[in-house]
Structure 1
């Protein structure tokens, strides 16, 4: 288990103050297009340098629809920028981080094997701690950063309580949701305590992906958050001395419910697509995913029954943003920036948010999009099993 466990004047001067504010706003509004144009000109040189380069994009490869989306992006990047995107499919992002660390230890400070990495949480914190990332902030220099709003969505700059410091570019949003068959389980458990009771009353009908799988790890974090009276220590580094004390409620829950899990808790599905398949096959009653649209997308593809619905626990569930990072020794850093910028574009983000394609929520701010892009985003159908924004807001 990682040691970082997780993861929001006097009245006489008013006329003068008003005038100063007006003047400041006027200057800011006038200067904004000039700054954007200058940033675009600077990025033109990055695009020119990226021509003909290959980007080795290390990203989890356990979901066919995500893989297909990355393939589509690769085609667009090839046609528009002459960049070859190679998807290096991972089962564990930590293995890629370990490879970068090994290259650093070996003195391989350039020409690294990884150009771009899908990352967040503990892996980003580790890369930052060991100086495995591009050293200079680069994200806010991306032309498509203008479509985000980090004030409205602070998680764009905070990765599981770790400041991103411009070292990773937001790619999508996620939240832990549970899926169930409404015809079989009309009243699913709504908190960790109810879930333990459900498991013991229905032996063999629940399981989760075993860590280091991200969804399985997120589920355990969710349990710990719910079971801990004081959650403050969970948002801070934990020492070896107090790790057992802080995590004791989780181990007690697992000791209590574990023997009644699917296959007696002796084996676990490898990842959440495998977990979803168990739900589809009727072997378990409840599955989980870190994508609110996953069940709807699976229903649309004919992989889950139409009676499947989703829910979150009554106190809310974990939610975060996932990112793209460039290692310190990337062989094609300019091309990696072009890829990250394209992935942040309204076109790529709207396509990614479509449940028929991936269903991964956008990190862009709708009020900063063009009218046409807002219309396209609003036109996306939520899906029969996808919770509304009001329900998902309980994080």
Structure 2
């Protein structure tokens, strides 16, 4: 899911692209003495700065605190924040004030996007540490490439993956027997059922993601999306996108002249039968809504078979963290099957796992449901990396100019 702590500031605006890990990183990536880290961590207090706007998130972190205290003698304090950018400012200020490498107030931070890019670019992170953790071996780095790439910025081991988000569609299977598997099929469905499909008005995050998904499927050369757009080429590179939307919009709810304000409104209209389908960036949302009896038992969820846009949210350790060893104990626990299974449980949080379940020992694999729950995606599709965030602003401006 998009991190609730992050606004548009959380999107990377500087140019960066995935690259091979630097030699210095590879040299440091030798497995550390984990027993020494465990010994150093005992008795430490880890101040974890994380968004506190969800009761489920807060409860999960309380449970985590109990687990790491019982297993490693590490005290975890949840520092409740509303915006990760404020944490970035604090770490910057501490650097400017000359605070040393063990004199900071932040030991761990929930992060992604521009906030991570800023801390990495300015040398304000501890690491690399992520891929030396014992539990990193179970991360799905192949099926979920965004676990190593944060909005076009290679993580280089400087942040540890924690959870996933991916563009997902859902509907009442009794009303929609053949879900569309790409934007072309969605257009065909809209033409056959005019007025029964829509998406949230931009700049709503899910609405913008819908447009980015359409862009990926219609751009002639997808490699250009990993870099900021070039103004002189923007019109040509997006021409097929606008052609597609020009064909789609007259078939939408209210003829494409109005758009719902947010995905919750779209979901409600779908639940009421006014719309055929709804959209989300959390693959577990339909299952959560079904379990809460806000969606019918016949709800189905899916992703386009060739892939949909996804990203990963992470945790990172500032350069001046006082409890670096304790923080690593926490991050490694957050990657454990026990912690990931609880977080993925729709009754606890419902945040998709970053792990490759096939890599887990049988006993740990059994912590996860053997088959999708009602309302969950039956067959996960490949994760497509986000276009470079530099595309967001010009696309939203052009969309507004054309359609509002």
Q: What TM-score does the superposition give when structure 1 sets the normalisation length?
A: 0.72
Residue 317 of structure 1 deviates from its aligned partner by 1.4
- What is the DSSP-based 3-state SS (H/G/I as helix, E as strand, rest coil) of the residue aligned with 1:171? strand
CA contact (8 A) 2:138 2:356 kept: yes
Give the structure 2 partner of residue 100 of structure 1: 88
1:252-271 pair list within 5 angstroms? 260=252, 264-265=257-258, 268-269=261-262
**What do residues 28-72 of structure 1 show as CA deviations (whole Å, max 9, x unaligned)?**
xxxxxxx97x622221244226x234322237x4x6544543343
- Residue 352 (1) aligns with residue 346 (2): no
**1:19-98 to 2 correspondences below 5 Å:** 39-48=33-42, 51-58=44-51, 61=53, 65-77=56-68, 79-80=70-71, 81-86=73-78, 88=80, 90=82, 95-97=83-85
Q: Compared with structure 1, are the counterparts of its residues 258 and 83 closer, same or farther at alpha carbon in structure 2 (3 Å cutoff)?
A: farther
1:352 deviates by 2.2
CA distance in 2, matches of 1:313, 1:7: 25
Structure 1: distance between partners of 2:90 and 2:169 = 37
Match of 2:376 among 360, 382, 386: 386
Which of the two has greater helix per residue?
Answer: 1
SS of alignment partner, residue 84 of structure 1: strand
- Does structure 1 residue 310 correspond to structure 2 residue 301? yes
Cα distance, 1:193–1:113 mapped onto 2, change above 3 Å: farther
Q: Which is further off, 146-155 or 290-299? A: 146-155
- Equivalences for 1:144-293 in 2 at 5 Å? 144-148=135-139, 150=141, 154-196=145-187, 202-203=194-195, 205-208=197-200, 210-211=202-203, 213=205, 215-243=206-234, 245-250=236-241, 260=252, 264-265=257-258, 268-269=261-262, 272=263, 275-282=266-273, 284-293=275-284
Partner of 1:323: 314
Residue equivalent to 2:396: none
Query: What runs of 5+ residues in structure 2 fail to find an aligned partner?
Result: 1-7, 19-29, 385-404
Does the CA contact (< 8 Å) of 2:15 and 2:228 recur in 1?
yes
Give me the CA root mean square deviation: 4.0
Measure the CA separation in 2 of the matches of 1:241 and 1:194.
Answer: 31
Normalization by structure 2: what TM-score?
Answer: 0.70
Query: Could you give the per-residue CA deviations for residues 149-168 of structure 1, whole angstroms, max 9, x where no partner exists?
Result: 64676543233443210011
In 2, the alpha carbon distance for the partners of 1:252 and 1:164 equals 36
The equivalent of 2:5 in structure 1 is: none
Quote the offset at 1:239 in angstroms: 4.2
Q: Which residues of structure 1 form unaligned runs of 5+?
A: 9-34
Rounded to whole Å, the distance in 1 between the matches of 2:122 and 2:274 is 43
Shift of 1:328: 4.2
Q: Deviations over 1:100-155 (max 9, x none)?
A: 14752682565666543333355534543344x41431113333324446467654
Distance 1:139 1:241 in 2: 39
Deviation at 1:285, TM superposition (A): 3.1
